[in-house]
Amino acid sequence: MKFVIVMLDGLRPDQLDDAVTPNLAELSKIGLRLDRHTSSFPSETRVSSAALATGGHSSAHGIIGNRFWANGRSIDGSSLSALLTLGSERGGVLTATTIGEVLAAHGRAMLTIGSQSQGSFGLSSWGSWQAGAPAFWVHDPSNFSNNAAVRRIASCFPVLPADERPARATIERVVDLFFSFLTKAALPEVSLLWLSEPDITYHMFGLQHPTAREVLHEVDRQFGRIFAWWSEKGEREGVQLIAASDHGHAIIGEKVSVLNHLQRSGFKVGYELTPDVDAAISAQRVVNIWVRDREGHLLTEMYHSLSEQPWFGVAFSRKAADGSPLVANTLPLSAVMAEHQRSADLSFVLADCSAANRNAPPGAVYYDGAYPIGVGMHGGLSAHELSSLCILAGNGFKTGVAAVPTSIVDLVPTILSSLRLPLPSTVQGRIIHEALQDREDGGQYDVEDASVSIASSAGRATVFRERYGQRLYLRGAAVTRLAEPKNDRPDANPTQLNT
C-alpha cells in the first residue's frame, strides 16, 4: 500500500462545487469525505505543517505559531535557518517524531514536493530530507536534498518567477515534478505534495472574488492531473490518494493594532524583546505576549487592559507552578493542546466581529496585520478557520461520508498503521478506524460535548470542543459580553505580514 497526499493550502471544504472544482467533487463521490475534519490550533500553515508531519498538536511538536519567541529570540517559521537555530538539523526543532523519521528508520522513503514557504516545507518533510529522501522545494529544488533523482530532474526545469501571486505556474510545477519523478524512479510508500494555493489568492482577494474562483479552478485542474494518473494506474497499484487542506479561512472584517493599544495604554511593548521594552508580542489572528521574566503583575495588568476591548476573544495562558493558568480568568493553553515550553505567557484569539457588532457579516473576524479588510485570513479558532478538507480514496478506505470528528493530526497514525509501522509515542491523533476498509470496529464511540468556558466580570469565553475516541477536537470559540465593551478602536498599523 502506498499513499499520495495532496495538500491544498487553505482550501475550505465548503468551497468545493461541481463547476469550480469538478475533480475534487468527483473524488469526494468515489472516495470517503471526512465531513468534520479540522485543523490544529493555531490554524496557521507552519503549525499545520508540523501537525501533519508529527500527528501531534503544538503541545507535542513545539511550533506554537508561524512566528514565536524561543531561546531569547524571535523565530520566523517561514525561514528554515531561523527554525534551525532551535536545534540541529536532526533534533531540537520539532519536539515530536515525524512520519519522515519513522519511514527513514524503517528503510522506507518519502517523496515531498511543495511550493509553500521554505520553513513550512522543511517542517512538513522533517526527517525525510535529512535522510536523503527526494525533497523538491519548487523555489529552489537543490535546497533540501542531495538526492540523485532530485538533482537530475530539477535541472530540466526553468527557474520559477519569484514570489508569484497568484501562484499558478508555481503549483503547476509541483505536479510537473511529481510526474517527472515517476519517469525516473519508483513511487515511495508516502508522497506529500503541497500546493500553496488557494491560500495565497484567498489572502489577496477573499474567497468569492472571480480571481479566487479562477485560481481554485486551476488548483482543481492541477489536482485533476494527479487524479487522472491515479484513476488510470495508481489505484490499481494500491495507491491511496488523499486530498486535504491544512486549515480554512475567515474574512477580515475589522483591523486592529494590539501593539498600538498596549503602547497607548502605557505599556512598553514591541515586536522584539529589546532592552527598552517589557514584553514582546506577535500578532495576526492570534496574539501572543511574552513578558520579560514572566512578570505576573504586568501580565495581569495587560490582560485587564486588553480584555475590555471589543476585539478581545478567548484568552489562554501558560501553566503557573501550581498548575493553574498564569493569568486569572484565562483558560489553560492545554485546553487547545497548545501548552509547550515555547508557549507565550498570554495568548488570545481576536474575536469574531459579531461579538461586538450584531450587523457584522457572518464569518467576519478582527485581525492585526498587513492584509486589508475583506480578504481571507486564518490562524484563529473560528469554525471557518478550523474547517479543513479531507477526502480519502483507494482500496484501503471505505467510501461515502464519515461524519465523525477527525483532525489533521489523525492522518499520521492512520497512514502509519496502514503501513504496519509503529506510531511514535508523541502522536496525539488517532487511527481513523471509521475510514479503513479492513476495520469493522469503526464508529463505536459517542461524540461528547467537551466545551470549556471561563467567566469573568466582562463576560464569558468558550472554546467549543468535542471528545471522540479519547481525543479532543476543536469546533470554534465565542465570547459573550455582559456589558457593552469600550469601542476604543486602535489605529490599524500594518507592519507585519506573516501567514
Q: Where along the sequence are the contacts to Zn ion (CB under 5 A)?
A: 9-10, 45, 199, 246
Which residue lies nearer to Zn ion by CB, 123 or 279? Answer: 123
**Residue number, 39 or 180, with CB nearest to Zn ion:** 39
Task: Say which residue the cell 491511496 belongs to.
Answer: 240
C-beta of 50 vs 435, nearer to Zn ion: 50
Q: Report which of 105, 101, 103, 143 is spatially closest to residue 121, judged by C-alpha positions.
A: 143
- Which residue in this structure is represented by grid cell 485543523? 39
Q: How far is the CB of 499 from Zn ion (least distance, A)?
A: 7
**Residue 10 or 413 having the CB closest to Zn ion:** 10
In the complex, minimum distance from the CB of residue 433 to Zn ion, in angstroms, rounded to a whole number: 28
Q: In this chain, which residue has its C-beta nearest to Zn ion?
A: 45
Indicate the residue among 9 and 189 with the shorter CB distance to Zn ion.
Answer: 9
Provide, rounded to whole angstroms, the least separation between the CB of residue 395 and Zn ion. Answer: 30
463 strand-pairing partners: 452, 477
Is residue 170 within 8 Å of residue 196, measured between CB atoms? Answer: yes
DSSP state of 13: G
Is the CB of residue 421 less than 8 Å from the CB of residue 103? yes
Q: Which residues pair with 453 in a beta bridge?
A: 462
DSSP secondary structure letter of residue 163: T
- Minimum distance of Zn ion from residue 47's CB (angstroms): 9
The least distance separating Zn ion from the CB of residue 48, rounded to whole angstroms, comes to 6
Q: Are strands 364-367 and 376-377 parallel, antiparallel or unpaired?
A: unpaired
Whole-number minimum distance, CB 10 to Zn ion, in Å?
A: 5
> Would you say 199 or 220 has its CB closer to Zn ion?
199
Q: Strands 239-244 and 2-8, how do they pair? A: parallel
d(CA 184, CA 189): 16
The nearest distance, CB 483 to Zn ion, in angstroms, is 37
Nearest to residue 199, comparing CAs of 212, 187, 190, 211?
A: 212
Which of 28, 115 has the CB closer to Zn ion? Answer: 115
- Walk across the sheet containing 110-114 and list its strands: 135-137, 110-114, 190-195, 2-8, 239-244, 390-393, 32-38, 400-407
The C-alpha atoms of residue 150 and residue 134 are separated, in whole angstroms, by 6
